Amino acid sequence: MTYETLLVEQRGAVTLITLNRPQALNALNSQLLADLITAFAAFDADDSQRCAVLTGSEKAFAAGADIKEMASQSFADMYGSNFFAGYDRVTATRKPWIAAVNGFALGGGCELAMMADFIVAGDNAKFGQPEIKLAVTPGMGGSQRLTRAIGKAKAMEMCLTGRMMDAAEAERSGLAAKVVPAADLVDEAMKTAEAIAAMAPLAALATKEMVNAAFETTLQQGVVFERRLFHGLFGSADQKEGMAAFVEKRPGNWTGK
């Protein structure tokens, strides 16, 4: 499958998806969203694939939603088409995926990165929600996900001033899981993805689902949800294999059942 705005490559059990609109610093237009929806659905449906990495270029992960595409839209156009709602299909991806961010991750670019299960940042990464400078606001989840990631004070300051946050601050603030040299970004993210891809697949799905539940439930409900998923894994062959492999001091050999 080839895409107009993406490069997609399977490396073993990891799918590497690269945003590829260099002439617009990977600005997110409708075609790119359509391509992302298709690529993530294909990744999720392919049993040979266990984890994905989404990246951009060294200069820009993505410099935002495509301003040129949005500029002339009316309220009726935006509301009527439920503009950006397609990103809910990206966040519905059940398997784990990592955003590997070099350069600018601004506006919708920052919001897309925050849709990932976690962010690995190159040391040249710059995150920001500059929409207010265009007389709009975040529209792809930024006001919600940034606030959950870094807390109200910093999120409010970032969204109200539109300032950029560098990689070190992003790591310190909990926006990025780790920072690596920009030149090593994709290799490092791929290594992390390969480690995840080597885990028992059902346990990886369940882990993602329960951590995400922490944002949707009370503590008590979340703890019960976790416990039920944990109980459920005792119905899997891989749980038997994983615990037997530990006792026998050998690596587990997963079937995904």
Residue numbers annotated as active site: 65, 108, 111, 131
Shortest distance, position 212 Cβ to ligand HXC, whole Å: 22
224, two tokens: 């019960």
Pick between residue 82 and residue 218 the one whose CB is nearest to ligand HXC.
82
User: Considering the rule CB under 6 A, would residue 86 count as an interface residue with ligand HXC?
Assistant: no
Pick between residue 81 and residue 255 the one whose CB is nearest to ligand HXC.
81
User: Considering the rule CB under 6 A, would residue 160 count as an interface residue with ligand HXC?
Assistant: no
Pick between residue 35 and residue 131 the one whose CB is nearest to ligand HXC.
131
Q: Which of these ranges, 64-72, 217-225, 226-234, 238-246, lies near ligand HXC under the rule CB under 6 A?
A: 64-72
User: Considering the rule CB under 6 A, would residue 146 count as an interface residue with ligand HXC?
Assistant: no
Q: Closest Cα partner for 52 from 208, 179, 167, 184? A: 208
Contact 61, 124 (CB under 8 A): no
User: Considering the rule CB under 6 A, would residue 104 count as an interface residue with ligand HXC?
Assistant: yes
User: Considering the rule CB under 6 A, would residue 67 count as an interface residue with ligand HXC?
Assistant: yes
Contact 52, 14 (CB under 8 A): yes
Coil vs helix vs strand at 136: coil
Distance CA 167, CA 171 (A): 6
Report the residue from 16, 25, 114, 176 that binds ligand HXC according to the rule CB under 6 A: 25
257, two tokens: 């059942």
CB atoms within 10 A of CB 184: 12
Distance CA 151, CA 26 (A): 28
User: Considering the rule CB under 6 A, would residue 51 count as an interface residue with ligand HXC?
Assistant: no
User: Considering the rule CB under 6 A, would residue 131 count as an interface residue with ligand HXC?
Assistant: yes
User: Considering the rule CB under 6 A, would residue 125 count as an interface residue with ligand HXC?
Assistant: no
> Which residues fall within 8 angstroms of residue 99, CB to CB, at 6 or more apart?
53, 54, 55, 61, 105, 112, 113, 114, 115, 116, 118, 119, 120
User: Considering the rule CB under 6 A, would residue 107 count as an interface residue with ligand HXC?
Assistant: yes
Pick between residue 24 and residue 51 the one whose CB is nearest to ligand HXC.
24
Cα–Cα–Cα angle for 159, 163, 164, nearest 5°?
110
Q: Which residues bind ligand HXC (CB under 6 A)?
A: 24-25, 27, 63-68, 104, 106-108, 130-131, 134, 136, 138-140
